[in-house]
Amino acid sequence: MRWKQPKEKVSGANFRGRGYFVMTVLGLCAVGLLARAVDLQVYKRNFLENEGNARFVRNVPIPAHRGPILDRFREPLAVSTPVDTVWVNPSMLASNPEQMLRLARVLNRDPAWLTRRVTSNLELQYLVLEKQLQPEDAERVRALRIPGVNLRREYRRFYPAGEVTGHVLGFTGSEDQGQEGLELAFEQVLGGEDGTKRVLQDRMGQVVDSVEIVKPPRSGEEIVTSLDLRIQYLAYRELKSAIREFQARAGSVIVVDVTTGEILAMVNQPSFNPNDRLKLDVNTYRNRAATDIFEPGSSMKPFIVATALASGKYTKTSTVDTNPGFFKVGNKTIEDHQNLGVVDLATILAKSSNVGIAHVAVTLDKAAIYNTLAGVGFGQVTPSGFPGESAGLLSHYEHWREISVATLAYGYGLSVTPLQLAQAYATIGAYGIKRPVTFRKVEGPVAGERVLPAEACRDLVHMLESVVSADGTALRAAVRGYRVAGKTGTAWKSTVGGYSQDRFRAVFAGVVPASNPRLAAVVVIDEPSNGMHQGGQVSAPVFSGILSGALRLLAVPPDDLAHVPAATLVQAASEQ
């Protein structure tokens, strides 16, 4: 028989001791957990929140909406449209090679290029793949729902009139900031200020929710310009047609409201389309009307006549002896195409006599000539505020010799911009009141500054009407139903060592209607060919085409009733 060890009898004291031990251990664990919870929730709360936020909370920019640019009648010239930029987390995208192939197809990109772009930037957390996608293309990317692929809302500038307003408006860069033209000039007003919002992201970088607006965006303000889009189109069409007809190198046109100084139109050729960023070229997008300087030729003669009338030495009936058809000053001989004999000031302008105007200029005080030219704005930047505008070249009269005065009288020895010339003719049309030219719409009349006597300018405007007559050099500048006062200019272009004998710049500048000027305009054609090169042949017809349309659009009453069809008079009377 096998012997069995008796079972140990467990006493109640032992059982209670074990229970106390277990309860003690559990109590200590609970205390430890509580202490850990307190440590995490109280003492390390900020640290943990920061660590969590670093992984799942992001501050992202809220792009400000750029202000629109409008014409004077609030027609849109430049507006911002929503676009999306595609950015990725390279490490997340690289872990899904098959997704990269899908993304490349949607972006219309080479898969090999996309793979290289992503895998060579694995150390980054933010990599831009495609900028400014159209909304429909961005939606296709969003529909892929690829981890690590994100969209950021931005805005892209759009110009409804395209190249018609390209030189004036300029364009914005990839960050929607002004780069040229009025976009740059009014950047502080148009640009606004981006905001910031805090968002919650999941582990794949997708935005789950917007937590709060940290800083609200401030949208840009709108700019109402002085431009009249209707006249802008007219100027664009007429200039482009002339450049093509005369096979010219380039050209510019400016139309200014005499009563306010507002620039109603400004165009250049060759032009460019600011909507096509891939074809931007400095040779086409610079605004020649404000940046390019040139010797104005005979279009400078009216300012010498204005000085003569203001001096008291000459009146509107004064005569000048141009015999024998040339005038020797120092070692230079100034010649006319024919001997005009004894002529009055109006004939000097109508026939564009270099001899006659040189005779007048050398009898005037140099300081008086300088004060007239500087007073109307030559040799200084206009108040327009256009970026990159040139001040031209006008040396001080203390440096002038007699030959300098004589050649200056018919437009050589100084340089101006088309914009300066337009402001100067607007000053003549305002009877000696210089109003600052502006690209902003003006409400109400502008006082301006008197720089020439009113009576001298009235006489000058009347004399300039003879230029646009059968006996003058610019009959083709005539506008049916309106009296036109203006002046041609045909200048040789300067070259190394002198002046070219076969390259010209043709100019016509004038005001209309002559009885009470409302508009001033300047037309400059650079290197016209095709058999014609004179201002009266090339630039004058452009002036006529633009101003005839502009005067009708602005409902300016005709002042040459003898040449207005009866039907036009009846229509004008009914509109008043």
Q: How many CA atoms lie within 13 A of 241 on its CB side?
A: 12
Distance CA(478)–CA(471), nearest Å, equals 13
Q: Which of 352, 345, 460 is nearest to 410 (CA)?
A: 352
Q: Which of 404, 408, 435, 450 is nearest to 310 (CA)?
A: 450
Q: Do 112 and 88 contact (CB within 8 A), yes or no?
A: no
Q: Measured in whole angstroms, how far is the alpha carbon of residue 443 from the centre of its chain?
A: 22
Q: Which pair of tokens denotes residue 365?
A: 């005080």
- From residue 531, alpha-carbon distances to 508, 534, 538 in Å are 18, 10, 10
Residue 553 φ then ψ, to 5°: -65, -35
Give the DSSP letter of residue 317: T
Distance CA(97)–CA(119), nearest Å, equals 10
Other Cβ atoms less than 10 A from the Cβ of 322: the count is: 25
Bridging pattern class, strands 223-224 and 69-70: parallel
| DSSP H or E run through 434 | strand 433-434
Secondary structure of 435-484 in the HEC alphabet?
CCCECECCCCCCCCEECCCHHHHHHHHHHHHHHHCCCCCCHHHCECCECC
The neighbouring-strand residues paired with 269 are 251
Q: How much of the chain is helix, strand and coil, in % rounded to 5?
A: 40, 25, 35
Distance CA(237)–CA(559), nearest Å, equals 26
Q: Name the packing angle between helices 540-553 and 229-245 (round to 10°).
A: 160
Other Cβ atoms less than 10 A from the Cβ of 277: the count is: 14
End-to-end CA distance of the chain: 142
CA-based radius of gyration for the chain: 38
226, 252, 271, 298: the active-site residue: 298
Bridging pattern class, strands 127-133 and 250-257: unpaired
Distance CA(411)–CA(426), nearest Å, equals 18
**Strand, coil or helix: what is 125?**
coil
Tokens 């008796």 map to which residue? 6
Residue 407 φ then ψ, to 5°: -75, -30
Any catalytic annotation for residue 539? Answer: no
**Strand, coil or helix: what is 210?**
strand
Q: How many CA atoms lie within 13 A of 150 on its CB side?
A: 21
Which amino acids are annotated catalytic?
298
